[in-house]
A and B are shown apart, each in its own frame.
Chain A
Amino acid sequence: MESASNSLAPSVGTKRSRRTIGFSRDSVDRLASDERCTAFEISRQVGTSDTVPARPQNYNLMIRVKELTKRYARTTAVDHISFEVQKGQIVGFLGPNGAGKTTTMRMLTCFLPPTSGTATVAGFDVLEAPMDVKRRIGYLPEIPPLYHEMRTAEYLAFVAKIKGLRGLELAKRVNYVLDRCAVADVKDKVLSKLSKGYRQRVGLAQAIVHNPDVLILDEPTAGLDPKQINETRELIRSLAGDHTIILSTHILPEVEQTCQQVIIINKGKLVATDSVNNLQNRSRGAGSVLVEIAGRQEALDSPEVKRRLEKVPGVSRVLFKEKRENRFVFEVDGETDRAIRGDLARVIVESGWDLNELRTAAVSLEEIFLQLTSSNEAKNASAKGTEGDLETVAEQAKR
C-alpha cells in the first residue's frame, strides 16, 4: 500500500490536476478513466483489509464537501460550504480570523461533527466511517499537539502507534519523517525545549508519519519568523506530490506562493473558489489603466480631460481619482481584449498635456480579498463564486 501510493500519487496527481483546477465535471471524469487510477484504486482496496463502505468510482476526488454547516447555539460558524479537492493538490483555505476555517477543518478531521451537510475524505464519509477517514488524514492544528514531556523521536513513535503503524514499518516511517521534516538533529530533545520553528516541523512530521492521503494544516506558518516561514512553505510544497493538502491561512502571499487553488471564506460563507493563477490573471489583466496627466502652463480642467478620454475608442469608463498640485490621476476602464493605451497616450499628447504616467491598475489579491471579505456584496458574489467565476469579484475589487 505504501509503495503504491508513493509511486503513483505524483504521476497521477501533480501532472494532470494542476492543469484541471477549475473543478469542471468532465475533467474529473476524464481522470477517472485513466487506467493508472484504476490500478491505483485496486491496490488501495487490497491494502485495506477492513470492511469498508463502497469506494466511490472517482478516486481522484480526495475531498468533497457538500453544503457543510456547523451551527452552535447562537452562531453559525460554517454556513453551507461546498467545495471539492482533487488528488495531489495544495489548496489554500483563506479567510480572516473567525471566518470558520478551523471549524471546517475540524469537521473534515472528524473532530467536530457537522450540523448538516456531508463531507467525504478519500471517499469515506466523516460521520459514517470516521475511523477510515482518520486513518487517511494527517492533521496539524493551529497549535501543534505536542506532549511537552516527550522527546521528539519518542513522540513521533507514539503518534505512529496510535495511527496504527507497528514494528519495522513504524521505525522506518519515524526515521523517514525525522529526515523529511528536518528534525532529525533534535530527535532526542524534549519537546518543551524546542524552538517554535522546530515545534512546527515536529507537528508537520506528526501529521505525515502514517503517510496519509490527505493533509490538513491549520495555519502552519502562524507565529514563525520569516526564515522559518519560508522553510515551512518549502516543506509543504515538497509534500504535495504524496499528499493532498489543505492549508488554512489569512496571509495572502502564502496562498500565492504555496497553493494551486484557493478557497475564500468569510463569516462562515464560501466567497470564492478558483485557481491561484486565475485569480492573479483576472486581477491583473482586467483592462484597467491608471493615467496621470499634467498641464503644461495653464491649470487643467478635469471635466474637460475626462470628456476627451472618454472619447478614446474602446474606453468604457473614466474615473477621476485624485488631484496632485496640477496633475490629475484618472482610472480608465477599457473593454476587454482591446488595447487602449496607445490611443490614450496619443489623445493626451495631441491635447497638449503631459503624460506623466500610464500603468496597469493592478488589483492585488489583497484588495480582492479585502473587498470580498468586508463588504455586503460578498454575499452576492458567493453565489457566483462557487462556480469558480471570479469576474464579478475582480470587478468589485476595483470599485
Chain B
Amino acid sequence: MRNVWILCWKELRSYFVSPIAYLLLAMFAIVFGFFFWNVVGYFVYAGMEAQMRGAMFPLNVNEQVIRPLVSNVSVIGLFLIPMITMRLFAEEKRSGTIELLATSPLRDFEVILGKWLAALILYSAMLLLTAINFAWLFRYGNPDWKPLLVAYLGLLLQAGALLAIGTFISTLTRNQIIAGGATFGICLLLWVLEWVSGYDSATYARVMAYLSVLTHFESFAKGLLSIKDFVYYLSAIFLGLFLTARSMESLRWRS
C-alpha cells in the first residue's frame, strides 16, 4: 500500500510541476464558470418572468440550477479526462522509465492503482473548483446540500470509471496523442450509446443504454443513491484497472 502512495505522489507532482494540471484546472474553471453564469442567469430570468405573469412557478435551486450544472460538469469531464490519463503510461513507455518501474520491486497493481488515484485526485481538485461557484448559491439561496453531495459522489464515480478506461488505453501505446484520442472516442461512445433507447426498446437497445455512462449518472444528478448505478461504476472501474493490469503483463511478453 505504501508503494501506491509513493507512485501516486510522484504522479501528482509531475502533474503539478508541468503546466498540465494548471491548464486543466484553468480550462475547467472557465468553462464551468460560463455554465454557472448561464444557468443562474436563466434561473433569475425565469423567476422574474414567473413573477410578472403572477404564476406561482415552483422554483427550486436544486432542480433548476444544481442538477443541470452537475450534468454539465460530467460532460466537461468527458473532454478533460483523456487529457488527464493520456500521459500516465504512454509517457513512461516513451521515455523508458517503464523499465525502471518494471525492474523495481513493485507489483503491477501498486503502479496502476497509484497512477489511477493520482488522476482521480487531480479530477477531484477540479471538482473542488466548482465548490467556489456553488458557495454563492448557498450564500444567496437556500438549496439542499444532500443532493449536491450525492451528485459529487456520482461525478467521482463516473470519472473513476472513465479514468480507469483511459489508464488502460494509455498502456497500449507510447504516443500520448493516440492514447488521448482513443480515450476521448471511447468516452464519447460510452456517452451516446444511450441514444438508441430513444427510438427502440429491443433488448440490444436496452443493453446499450445500460452500458452508457450517461444513464447511470441521471440518478446521481437527481440526488438519488441507487445501488444499480453504484455497481455499474464500480464494476467499470474494476474492469478498467483489470484490463490495465493485463495489458501491463502482456507488455512484458510482447515487447
**A112-B255 contact given A147-B14, A149-B14, A149-B17, CB 8 Å threshold:** yes
Q: Which residues of A contact B100 (CB under 8 A)?
A: 139, 141, 145, 159, 162, 206
In the complex, whether A158 has a CB less than 8 A from a CB of chain B is yes
In the complex, whether B38 has a CB less than 8 A from a CB of chain A is no
**A141-B96 contact given A111-B252, A113-B253, A158-B6, CB 8 Å threshold:** yes
The answer to whether B97 and A147 have CB atoms under 8 Å apart is yes
Q: Which residues of B contact A147 (CB under 8 A)?
A: 10, 14, 95, 97
> Counting chain A CB atoms within 10 Å of each CB, which of B3, B18, B105, B255 scores highest?
B105
Q: Whole-angstrom distance from the CB of B253 to the nearest CB of chain A? A: 7
Find residues 235-252 in chain B having any chain A CB closer than 8 Å to their own CB: 252
Q: Which residues of A contact B13 (CB under 8 A)?
A: 149-150
Which B residue's beta carbon lies closest to that of A112? B252
Contact of B99 among A113, A141, A148 (CB under 8 A): A141
| Chain B residues engaging chain A, CB cutoff 8 angstroms | 3, 6-7, 10, 13-14, 17-18, 95-106, 252-253, 255
Q: Which residues of A contact B101 (CB under 8 A)?
A: 162
In the complex, whether A143 has a CB less than 8 A from a CB of chain B is yes
**A109-B103 contact given A149-B18, A158-B6, CB 8 Å threshold:** yes
Could you tell me the dominant secondary structure of chain B's interface residues?
helix
Complex: A145 Cα to B95 Cα, angstroms: 7
The answer to whether B6 and A161 have CB atoms under 8 Å apart is yes
In the complex, whether A163 has a CB less than 8 A from a CB of chain B is yes
Contact of B96 among A131, A145, A149, A206 (CB under 8 A): A145
**A162-B252 contact given A137-B103, A146-B97, CB 8 Å threshold:** no
Complex: A101 Cα to B174 Cα, angstroms: 23
Which A residue's beta carbon lies closest to that of B5? A161
What are 28 A-B contacts with C-beta separation under 8 Å? A106-B99, A109-B99, A110-B103, A111-B99, A111-B102, A111-B252, A134-B103, A139-B99, A141-B96, A141-B99, A142-B96, A143-B95, A145-B97, A146-B97, A147-B14, A147-B95, A147-B97, A148-B95, A149-B13, A149-B14, A149-B17, A150-B14, A158-B6, A162-B6, A162-B106, A163-B104, A163-B105, A206-B100
Which B residue's beta carbon lies closest to that of A164? B105
Complex: A139 Cα to B103 Cα, angstroms: 7
In the complex, whether A398 has a CB less than 8 A from a CB of chain B is no
Complex: A134 Cα to B102 Cα, angstroms: 9
Q: Which residues of B contact A110 (CB under 8 A)?
A: 102-103
Q: Whole-angstrom distance from the CB of A361 to the nearest CB of chain B? A: 44
Which B residue's beta carbon lies closest to that of A135? B105
Complex: A206 Cα to B100 Cα, angstroms: 9
